[in-house]
């Protein structure tokens, strides 16, 4: 039994996710589209379970698992096989660890793979091609556990000495109570687990903390249903008006769309109520769509809506890796167009032809074809060829990206250099202190340059150290302004902070960066020049925090005579060739990038030499 208007719930989830992935900075909260899918899956699966038990007094667990397997696994494998050959169009950096990514996707462990490897759903740099399959992992975990629990419940309830109708009521009530308990537990785990985090990927990816939308849907199913419907819901539908319900459904979708504009992945409010609100709104949309089905017995769903709903799962699988690949080759709008032009036909082919063939069924699209052996043989040959290409590509995929290699090497150099540098500077400071007979005399800042930076600085550390005279470098990936402040204060306390302080921070700017930078400026002791290197991100628009940092830093020399700005943002923008095939932030060992970056720092130091020290 196909419920009309459910297609629009699927379409809403798909549109939110696609908009988020394609235009993340414009539509930052579109990730709630996944929660619409989760809620809908929890509702649909549970409603079908309730229907099955009401009709047969049984729940066939293995049959349930078999249906889930044929619906989920073949499209997933097919999408991987189609996408991998296209990776030869872009930098090998984008297939780093490809074998592990594929194993995690097919093994439905991508969510924990990303947690263990430090991945982020909002990764700014080299995104994994199959990071989006984290949601399939959470979904599969739900199916395995929920199906097993339902099998146990049905076995227990079947032993009760009640008539079949009473048993069905008890089963429905049990499902509702357990769904409510599990939803509350999962949501509470997310809300509590998000406390103190700056990267929320851990609670976002986890099956434990992000399973409550499924149980919200399951709870709704216990009150409504599809074929087997409680009397209370029957009475509610009997009084429903098609016009009113349609208006309420449209309004619910509109609120979901507005919520996608407001939520932020990096805001804790998202995890203490935002995702729950999205799930509840999704449940309301499902409820209203179910009621509208009852109110419109003579009206059919538009064919285009049914088509999009049918291919929504496969299109979800294809869109992300295709977009990652083509966004490296063309502009974002064209990448979106190419992604859809390739993704939609592949998704339709998968749903209407290949998946039925794999399941041993006659595809409806080929009902006039009686001999499908040539088609099956052709598909088998294509599959074998694609598997060979995928296996070869995964085997030869790099273990580390060029950026990761540079950061690793830079980290080793930094650890070794800091030991010698700290020793030499401290000894010089101690010697200077002993010369001072006046107890009130202050130790002067050591001559030279202290560079404090993030992953961009770390990636070019070796070259920078050789081409910026008398410098020490302390750089680390993902370093934010507040962390740079801590490094500066530690060096200052230990009297190893040199006269020229170069701050190369801003690409990882979080909310509150301006207050952090003001704090850094205020607490820098007298006797120093402060050189601020503006951050650069090739993809950044004016509303990005990194762009705002650069704009703000350019205003500071007019307010503080000891501050100089080295405008890396503008210099880097003149050399797009440095970032070709990269993430648009790092240049991963490309010497031309090292040269330009060192030039930016040295230009800043030359300008600073003409200004007074902080008084």
Range with lowest mean pLDDT among 124-128, 242-246, 313-317: 124-128
Q: Which two tokens stand for residue 375?
A: 């088609």
Task: Please compute the mean of the pLDDT values over residues 122-141 and round it to a whole number.
Answer: 84
Alpha-carbon span 608 to 94, nearest angstrom: 40
Alpha-carbon span 366 to 225, nearest angstrom: 33
Q: Which two tokens stand for residue 24?
A: 């993340």
Hey, how many other C-beta atoms are within 10 angstroms of the C-beta on 3? Answer: 18
Task: Please compute the mean of the pLDDT values over residues 485-502 and round it to a whole number.
Answer: 92
At residue 574, the pLDDT reads 93
The yes-or-no verdict on residue 343 having pLDDT over 90 is yes
At residue 437, the pLDDT reads 46
What are the structural domains, with CATH classification, of the chain?
A: 6-396 (no CATH), 402-608 (3.40.50.1110)
Helix axes 513-523, 545-555, angle to 10 degrees: 40
Closest by alpha carbon to 145, among 115, 192, 108?
Answer: 108
- Share the mean pLDDT of the chain: 89
At residue 417, the pLDDT reads 58
DSSP string for 529-575? EEEEE----TT--TTSHHHHHHHHHHHGGGT-TTEEEE-HHHHHHT-
Q: Which two tokens stand for residue 499?
A: 């006269």
Query: pLDDT tens digits for 163-210?
Result: 888 999 999 999 999 999 999 999 999 999 999 887 899 999 999 999
For residue 71, count CB atoms less than 10 angstroms from its CB and return exposed for 0-12, middle for 13-18, buried for 19 or more: middle
% of the chain residues with pLDDT over 90:
67
For residue 533, list its beta bridge partners: 566
The yes-or-no verdict on residue 374 having pLDDT over 60 is yes
Classify the C-alpha dihedral 463-506-421-520 as positive or negative. Answer: positive
Task: Please compute the mean of the pLDDT values over residues 240-269 and round it to a whole number.
Answer: 95
Q: Which two tokens stand for residue 574?
A: 């003149």
**Alpha-carbon distances, residue 367 vs 43, 306, 348, 377 (angstroms):** 32, 19, 16, 18
Task: Please compute the mean of the pLDDT values over residues 242-259 and round it to a whole number.
Answer: 96
**Alpha-carbon distances, residue 469 vs 256, 355, 454, 466, 533 (angstroms):** 56, 64, 20, 7, 17
Closest by alpha carbon to 464, among 352, 376, 593?
Answer: 593
Classify the C-alpha dihedral 121-127-132-137 as positive or negative. Answer: negative
Torsion region of 34: left, alpha or beta (phi above 0 gives left; psi -120 to 50 gives alpha): alpha
Query: pLDDT tens digits for 407-450?
Result: 555 555 666 555 655 555 556 555 555 555 454 445 678 899 99
Cβ atoms of 502 and 449 within 8 Å: the answer is: yes
User: Pairing state of beta strands 529-533 and 500-504?
Assistant: parallel
Alpha-carbon span 515 to 530, nearest angstrom: 17
Task: Please compute the mean of the pLDDT values over residues 51-75 and round it to a whole number.
Answer: 94
Alpha carbons within 13 angstroms on the beta-carbon side of residue 374 total: 3
**Could you report how far apart the first and last alpha carbons of the chain are, in Å?**
79
Closest by alpha carbon to 391, among 95, 597, 15, 2?
Answer: 95
Residues 6+ positions from 604 with CB-CB distance below 8 Å: 502, 531, 532, 533, 564, 565, 566
Query: pLDDT tens digits for 564-598?
Result: 999 999 999 999 888 876 777 887 667 888 999 99
Task: Please compute the mean of the pLDDT values over residues 80-106 and round it to a whole number.
Answer: 92
Closest by alpha carbon to 9, among 288, 220, 210?
Answer: 288
Phi, psi of 250 (to 5 degrees): -60, -40
At residue 90, the pLDDT reads 87
Cβ atoms of 226 and 47 within 8 Å: the answer is: yes
- Split at pLDDT 50, 70, 90, the class of 126 is low
Alpha-carbon span 295 to 264, nearest angstrom: 37
Cβ atoms of 493 and 463 within 8 Å: the answer is: no
């Amino acid at each position: 039994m196909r419920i009309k208007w459910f297609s629009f719930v699927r379409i809403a989830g798909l549109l939110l996710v696609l908009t988020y992935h394609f235009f993340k900075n414009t539509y930052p909260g579109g990730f709630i589209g996944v929660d619409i899918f989760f809620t809908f899956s929890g509702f649909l699966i549970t409603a079908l379970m309730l229907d099955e038990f009401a009709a047969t007094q049984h729940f066939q667990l293995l049959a349930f698992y078999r249906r889930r397997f044929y619906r989920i696994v073949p499209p997933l494998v097919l999408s991987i096989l189609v996408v991998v050959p296209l990776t030869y169009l872009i930098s090998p950096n984008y297939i780093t660890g490809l074998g592990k990514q594929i194993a995690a996707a097919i093994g439905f462990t991508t969510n924990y793979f990303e947690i263990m490897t430090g991945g982020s759903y909002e990764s700014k740099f080299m995104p994994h091609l199959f990071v989006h399959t984290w949601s399939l992992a959470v979904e599969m975990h739900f199916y395995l556990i929920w199906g097993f629990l339902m099998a146990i419940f049905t076995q227990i309830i079947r032993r009760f000495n009640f008539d079949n109708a009473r048993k069905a009521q008890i089963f429905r009530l049990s499902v509702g109570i357990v769904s409510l308990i599990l939803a509350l537990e999962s949501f509470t785990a997310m809300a509590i687990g998000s406390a103190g985090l700056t990267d929320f990927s851990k609670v976002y990816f986890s099956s434990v903390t992000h399973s409550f939308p499924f149980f919200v849907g399951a709870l709704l199913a216990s009150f409504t249903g599809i074929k087997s419907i409680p009397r209370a819901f029957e009475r509610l539908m009997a009084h429903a008006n098609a016009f009113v319900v349609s208006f309420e459904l449209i309004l619910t979708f509109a609120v979901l769309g507005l919520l996608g504009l407001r939520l932020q992945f990096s805001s804790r409010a998202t995890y203490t109520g935002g995702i729950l609100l999205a799930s509840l709104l999704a449940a309301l949309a499902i409820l209203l769509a179910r009621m509208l089905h009852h109110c419109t017995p003579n009206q059919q769903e538009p064919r285009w809506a049914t088509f999009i709903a049918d291919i929504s799962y496969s299109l979800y699988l294809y869109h992300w890796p295709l977009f990652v690949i083509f966004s490296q080759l063309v502009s974002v709008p064209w990448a979106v167009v190419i992604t859809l032009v390739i993704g939609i036909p592949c998704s339709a082919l998968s749903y209407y032809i290949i998946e039925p063939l794999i399941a041993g069924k006659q595809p409806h699209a080929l009902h006039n074809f009686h001999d499908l052996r040539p088609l099956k043989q052709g598909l088998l040959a294509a599959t074998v060829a694609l598997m060979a290409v995928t296996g070869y590509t995964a085997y030869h995929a790099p273990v580390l990206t060029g950026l990761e290699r540079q950061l690793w090497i830079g980290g080793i150099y930094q650890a070794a250099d800091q030991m010698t540098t700290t020793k030499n500077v401290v000894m010089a400071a101690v010697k200077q202190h002993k010369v001072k007979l006046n107890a009130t005399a202050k130790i002067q800042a050591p001559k030279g340059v202290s560079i404090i930076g993030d992953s961009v600085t770390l990636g070019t550390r070796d070259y920078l150290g050789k081409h910026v005279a008398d410098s020490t470098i302390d750089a680390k990936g993902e370093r934010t302004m507040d962390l740079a402040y801590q490094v500066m204060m530690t060096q200052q306390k230990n009297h190893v902070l040199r006269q020229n302080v170069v701050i190369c921070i801003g690409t990882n700017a979080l909310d509150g960066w301006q207050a952090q930078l003001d704090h850094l400026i205020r607490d820098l002791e007298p006797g120093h020049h402060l050189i601020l290197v503006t951050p650069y991100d090739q993809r950044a628009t004016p509303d990005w925090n990194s762009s705002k940092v650069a704009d703000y830093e350019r205003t500071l020399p007019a307010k503080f005579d000891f501050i100089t700005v080295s405008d890396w943002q503008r210099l880097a923008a003149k050399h797009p060739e440095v970032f070709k095939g990269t993430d648009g932030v790092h240049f991963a060992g490309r010497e031309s990038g090292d040269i330009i970056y060192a030039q930016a720092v040295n230009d800043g130091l030359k300008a600073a030499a003409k200004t007074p020290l902080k008084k």
